[in-house]
Amino acid sequence: MSPKITTELLKQLRQVMKNPRYVQEPVQAYIVPSGDAHQSEYIAPCDCRRAFISGFDGSAGTAIVTEQHAAMWTDGRYFLQAAHQMDSNWTLMKMGLKDTPTQEDWLVSVLPEGSKVGVDPFIIPADQWKRMSKALRSAGHDLVPVKENLIDTIWTDCPQRPCKPLITLDLSYTGVSWRDKIVALRSKMAERKVMWFVVTALDEVAWLFNLRGSDVEYNPVFFAYAVIGMNTIRLFIDGDRMMDPAVREHLQLDSTLEPEFKIQVMPYGSILSELQAIGASLSPKEKVWLSDKASYALTEAIPKAYRYLTPYTPICIAKAVKNTAETEGMRRAHIKDAVALCELFNWLEKEVPKGTVTEILAADKAEEFRSQQKDFVELSFATISSTGPNGAIIHYKPVPETNRTLSVNEIYLLDSGAQYKDGTTDVTRTMHFGTPSAYEKECFTYVLKGHIAVSAAIFPNGTKGHLLDSFARSALWDCGLDYLHGTGHGVGSFLNVHEGPCGISYKTFADEPLEAGMIVSDEPGYYEDGSFGIRIENVVFVIPAETKYNFKNRGSLTFEPLTLVPVQTKMIDVNLLTEKECNWVNEYHQKCREVVGAELERQGRHEALRWLLRETEPLARVQ
Amino acid sequence: MSPKITTELLKQLRQVMKNPRYVQEPVQAYIVPSGDAHQSEYIAPCDCRRAFISGFDGSAGTAIVTEQHAAMWTDGRYFLQAAHQMDSNWTLMKMGLKDTPTQEDWLVSVLPEGSKVGVDPFIIPADQWKRMSKALRSAGHDLVPVKENLIDTIWTDCPQRPCKPLITLDLSYTGVSWRDKIVALRSKMAERKVMWFVVTALDEVAWLFNLRGSDVEYNPVFFAYAVIGMNTIRLFIDGDRMMDPAVREHLQLDSTLEPEFKIQVMPYGSILSELQAIGASLSPKEKVWLSDKASYALTEAIPKAYRYLTPYTPICIAKAVKNTAETEGMRRAHIKDAVALCELFNWLEKEVPKGTVTEILAADKAEEFRSQQKDFVELSFATISSTGPNGAIIHYKPVPETNRTLSVNEIYLLDSGAQYKDGTTDVTRTMHFGTPSAYEKECFTYVLKGHIAVSAAIFPNGTKGHLLDSFARSALWDCGLDYLHGTGHGVGSFLNVHEGPCGISYKTFADEPLEAGMIVSDEPGYYEDGSFGIRIENVVFVIPAETKYNFKNRGSLTFEPLTLVPVQTKMIDVNLLTEKECNWVNEYHQKCREVVGAELERQGRHEALRWLLRETEPLARVQ
């Protein structure tokens, strides 16, 4: 992997930073964040501006270019990769290390007095703008919005913004019509006394209208905004997508509808001017609801006194609680996904000893088996297929330069998932195709104990996910071990594999309480640098729990695994499990047998069924 | 306990809220927080303004009075007590329940347009001012400082502010001289590039100068502020206290000292004008360090650009990590405290069956036994001596109207502690002097399991206490039970029984990571309204833990109990304990026998020693 040569590009960028065609006054620094205009985690190629200017294409990083310097901030996952991908024009700023300056502090240290720092106001979230702007102002500089994205002006072969056809989802998938979702949203708006709600996150637009797209890889979303008023619905979207008769029918564009459900379709690019028009027309007390992570440009379109900002939107919260149709869909998707993985692991067990299976081949094979299942759409994220030391790189993705061959001597970790039209999956299994060492089994068993501690936890209604995080670590902590990532994230229903507002993490972000119907992952791990990685991940469903007592009538919750893929018993040191944990494993495997076994039978996959039966033999604990 | 009749008082308050003598413009609402000008938790009688206006005298609560309403916000510990103490003029706002509005939301819902909300700027912490002011402003109202406290204007028989003599502590108690503490503080100031540090919390002033007082009951503090410059020390304190030769000698007031250690003594009331003078004299880049919980009035004295605010001051953090002299003192104090409690419980066991022991008598007897111990100063908080249904009132304090007689038919809960010159104690034991029911034993055992889960927890260096809270609840949660308070708080060394910056709570306040040398309480409970209360509390010391592995060389921590008082085995359902939990109890009781037994022997308290030996017989688990 040789670095991208950026000398010429940086020269061009520095020219446009002074070009009056693009900037009112020259800017002495220009910030290139990671995101797109919707603050998406996964972005389209046309939005990979930071990768274009620097060569560094990890999922997190911010570039800042001044007249003299070019610097890149990224976190511990990407120190090596960024160092490899960037040329000597760039300084790597290792976030999380003690001596690394913040972007603000660095800017203040290198800028001449009274500088202007430019940024695309559509890309920077309003909360980040506020922090950065405040720090710069207190040092005598100014953060200024540069309307035209300066990278785009020099990116001559920039790919087009994708504009792929839409998929309509009927009630059998969504459970609730888009009209009923609009009604529910308007009632939340009325509660908070807001007149307008601006939908900026792509998955929120998709969920609200029961539409899906494929503009961004792995995430079935499409580029659009929406603005919902108490009597109007405006959808901002480009292309011929609204010409599709199925879409027109789904959105009832050609029907005679009550005016409050009539969707006005407007060009994607007109969101700002429309919002500005709304902003200018507001009477006192007419508030506009936005996410506090919406872009600075859209947030500024609404005068400050009229803004109502929240960390989580009502759509984000409603979307997290799955209804019966969505839950049933998620169940079906997970059964199909388990069938594919039984096929894969059965195949791996036969092929790995031959020495012909690489990480990439295994990942491809996993995709192949998944694609044979009904309603398969695409993967839900880049497959993490890693063996031996690669397993310790938590966000590893195999590429030809690192592609390692699976063997009977190393632990193999597969973290993968798919988008099916009825649901989204995300599962990690850690396997050994030979004989694991006692130490490997010990570590695996601690991770399993943590996984079970979360999965079997009973907790009161209203508990926030972060209060469960330590349960996942307790067995590791007892032996002085730990893992440096959170334990779980929300999962969408045929939507983004990572979604808010709930999660299970030691980082106390502003998570919302867990509620019956939410779906999260449970994925503790243990990683030994240069040696191996272990992670056991199920997607779990929050369900009411039956308890002996019921304090203050609050009710209790617990989790039900949606993922039904055997946990390799060969890796378990049964003597480290309590009786309760041992029973959990046996009951889980019994359920895998019954549910996935029946589906394997139905699909006539007899060899994989035999593998499943073998892998789900009950554990016997020595007393 | 009959409620305080507040009709007339509220009428008077509503009058002064409009009286131009006190307010520039009428205020439509007036906020009466709990605290004093130092944001103390325990306050002097002259500062009990919220109790005066409402009748509710729990340690936490905020009253807001509008022209039409009077509302009181308090937490789960005080729901019952507040309901009993307040008359029908007051609405109780149960914090932590889902439907309870925040103070801001409630104000916005009841206030007429464009209202003024008044508050004493010396009482409200700056961070609360900021949040409240922002929320009100965005709804079109204004938070305004009312210089004269409006409660004081109607409180005709308000007691005088106390001004008691000081106690000096030598190195054998404190381990570090005040001069060395000043040197360490100035080095922290230099690190952060601040020129001034303002000490506003009473326990921080006391700790810094190795002085103690008795201005506030239970907390050995005195009313004072301090302002530390790089070359100056100013102590703001009233009365003849600085005339005491011991104090003058201790502070070296009459010695020829290097100027940077010369203490300037100034009147307590001059803090604001002195700070304003400092604020006016600052050159650019000269910052002043304050706690973000300092009062709005003092914070405002420093122009915004010159303020350096942190949630915890360097004194708060240094004070939390006890040195060897302090730790040894805390150990001694806890042994003496255990001796007193062994005497008490032995006495109760004999007297309770006679039907002559009331809650108040038991509390008095506890104080009597403690006062026989060396270096006893006073209690560290009002003794919670509660039997039967009174035990369910979490912060109950017996008064003649509620004073219940202990009996062999009810559970007795005693939460008590003392200030000794060498340390502060806080211990809760729950006892039955007859035969507990199976249900009482079951609940007690879940609480004990939670207590052990925290006490025996092993966790990485750098872990924040709130990540341990769920361990204390897990056994209760499994059966649908819970308790509505945090699990632990920091404990001072002959200082406040509650201190920051660490704690163990489901509330994710900005706690600092636990460090070896810190001291916290471990006190899960279970409360059944109208029936009984259970709590098991030890003060525990954070110590390094030996573990099998050592991930990233981070090191691990665990707890060592400082409290050494038997847990009543009669209340334990041994079959609900794991082997590990059973061993924990037996080892703990063995240590009580050895350490406290030796001291009882030394003090010639043979009957109490026999009680201790009987109560610490090992548990036998049925396999």
Model pLDDT for residues B404-419, shown as the tens digit of each residue: 999 999 999 999 999 9
Q: Measured between alpha carbons, how far is residue A483 from residues A80, A261, A415 in Å?
A: 20, 49, 16
B623 confidence band (pLDDT: 50, 70, 90): low
Closest residue by Cα to residue A337 from A275, A425, A407: A425
- Of A579, A566, A565, A567, the closest CA to residue A620 belongs to A579
Q: Which parts of chain A register pLDDT below 70? A: 1, 508-510, 622-623
Query: Is the per-residue pLDDT at B78 higher than 70?
Result: yes
Helix axes B324-351, B359-371, angle to 10 degrees: 140
Instruction: Count how many Cα atoms sit within 13 Å of the Cα of residue B62 in the half-sphere of its side chain.
Output: 20
Query: Is B530 in CB contact (< 8 Å) with chain A?
Result: no
> Chain A 276-315, CB below 8 Å of chain B: which residues?
305
The distance of B482 to chain A (nearest Cα, Å) reads: 7
Q: Which residue of A has its CA nearest to B509?
A: A508
> Does residue B468 sit at the A interface (CB-CB below 8 Å)?
yes
B residues 508-527 lying closer than 8 A (beta carbon) to A: 508
Looking at residue B483, its pLDDT comes to 97
Residue A287 distance to chain B (closest CA, Å) = 11
Say yes or no for a CB contact (<8 Å) between A470 and B468: yes
Backbone angles phi, psi at B228, to 5 degrees: -105, 120
Amino acid identity, residue B327? T
Instruction: Specify the pLDDT at position B98.
Output: 82
A404 to chain B, minimum CA–CA distance in Å?
A: 26
Summarised one tens digit per residue, pLDDT across range B291-326 is: 999 999 999 999 998 999 998 999 999 999 999 999
* Cis before B501? omega within 30: yes
End-to-end CA distance of chain B: 49
Residue A239 Rama label (left phi>0; alpha psi -120 to 50; beta): left
B29-57 burial, b for 16+ CB within 10 Å, e for fewer?
A: bbbbbbbbbbbbbbbbebbbbbbbbbbbb
Determine whether the interchain pair A480/B549 forms a contact, defined as Cβ–Cβ distance below 8 Å: yes
Among chain A residues, CA nearest to B457: A478
Test A457 with B474 for CB contact under 8 angstroms: yes
> Quick check: B487 pLDDT over 70?
yes
Dihedral angle computed from the Cα positions of residues B175, B179, B180 and B181, in that order, rounded to the nearest 10 degrees: 80
CA-nearest residue to A513 within chain B is: B98
Closest by CA to B539, choosing from B557, B521, B527, is B521
A252 contacts chain B (CB < 8 A): no
Neighbouring C-alpha atoms within 13 Å toward the C-beta of A143: 24
Q: What is the pLDDT of residue A280?
A: 96
Strand runs labelled E in B372-452 = 376-379, 384-387, 411-416, 418-420, 423-424, 427-432
| Cα angle: B251, vertex B255, B261; to 5 degrees | 55
Dist CA B425 CA A469 (whole Å): 32
| ipTM of the complex in this document | 0.94
Q: What is the least distance, in Å, from the CA of B556 to any CA of chain A?
A: 6
The tens digit of pLDDT for each residue in B25-59 reads 999 999 999 989 999 989 999 999 999 999 999 88
CB-nearest partner of A480 from B468, B478, B551: B551
Q: Which residue is listed with tokens 């310097």?
A: A69
Give yes or no for B19 touching A (CB within 8 A): no
Token pair listed for A585 = 């494993």
Place of tokens 């779990």: A540
**Residue B147 neighbours by CB distance under 10 Å:** 11
Model confidence band, residue B511 (pLDDT cutoffs 50, 70, 90): confident
Q: Mention every residue, 6+ apart, whose C-beta is less than 8 A from residue A361.
A: none
CB-count exposure of residue B124 (10 Å: 0-12, 13-18, 19+): buried
* Region of residue B361 (left: phi > 0; alpha: psi -120 to 50; beta: else): alpha
Enclosing H/E stretch for B233: strand B233-237
Under the banding of pLDDT at 50, 70 and 90, the label for residue B622 is low
Span B357-386, average pLDDT: 98
Report residue A82 as tokens: 């960024």
CA distance B609 to chain A (A): 36
Q: pLDDT value at position A511?
A: 81
Burial of A438 (0-12, 13-18, 19+ CB in 10 A): exposed
| C-alpha span between B267 and A356 (Å, rounded) | 84
Whole-number Å distance between alpha carbons of B318 and B499: 12
Mean pLDDT estimate for chain B = 96
Using the Cβ of B580 and the Cβ atoms of chain A, whether some distance falls under 8 Å is answered with: no
Retrieve residue B215's tokens.
């201005």
Nearest residue of A to residue B482, measured between CA atoms: A551
Which is nearest to A370 in space by CA: A349, A331, A339?
A: A339
Strand, coil or helix: what is B188? helix
Q: Do A508 and B508 count as a contact with CB atoms less than 8 A apart?
A: yes
Residues in B touching A471 (Cβ below 8 Å)? 470, 474
C-alpha–C-alpha distance, residues A291 and B295, integer Å: 32
The rounded percent of chain B whose pLDDT value lies above 90 is 92
CA–CA separation, B298 and B275 (whole Å): 7
Half-sphere CA count of B450, side-chain side, radius 13 A: 34
**CB distance A471–B470 less than 8 Å?**
yes
CB distance B548–A480 less than 8 Å? yes
* Residue B536 DSSP code: -
Of A470, A548, A552, which has the smallest distance from its Cβ to B479's Cβ? Answer: A548
**Is residue B348's pLDDT more than 70?**
yes
Average pLDDT over residues B187-212: 96
A551: nearest CA partner in chain B:
B481
Task: Work out whether strand B525-528 and strand B532-535 pair parallel, antiparallel, or are unpaired.
Answer: antiparallel
B506 touches chain A (CB under 8 A): yes
Q: How far is B282 from chain A (nearest CA, A)?
A: 16
Residues A207 and A495 sit within 8 Å (Cβ to Cβ): yes
Q: Which residues of chain A are within 8 Å of residue B306 when distances are taken between CB atoms?
A: none
Query: Mapping DSSP to helix (H, G, I), strand (E, B) and coil, where does residue B372 land?
Result: coil
Kind of pairing between the strands at B423-424 and B532-535: unpaired
Q: Is the pLDDT of residue B509 over 70?
A: no
Collapsed DSSP state (helix, strand, coil) of residue B591: helix
Split at pLDDT 50, 70, 90, the class of B1 is low
| pLDDT in the model for residue B427 | 98
Instruction: Give the closest of B477, B549, B550 to A458, CB-based.
Output: B477
Count the Cβ atoms, other than its own, within 10 Å of residue B176: 16
Q: Quickly count: other Cβ atoms within 10 Å of residue B172's Cβ.
A: 11
HSE-CB at B137 with a 13 A cutoff on CA atoms is 10
Whether residue A501 is preceded by a cis peptide bond, meaning omega within 30 degrees of 0, is yes
Closest partner residue to B549 (CB to CB) among A466, A474, A481 is A481
Rounded to a whole number, what is the distance in Å from the CA of A305 to chain B's nearest CA? 7
Contact B467 A471 (CB under 8 A): no
- Do the Cβ atoms of B477 and A470 come within 8 Å? no
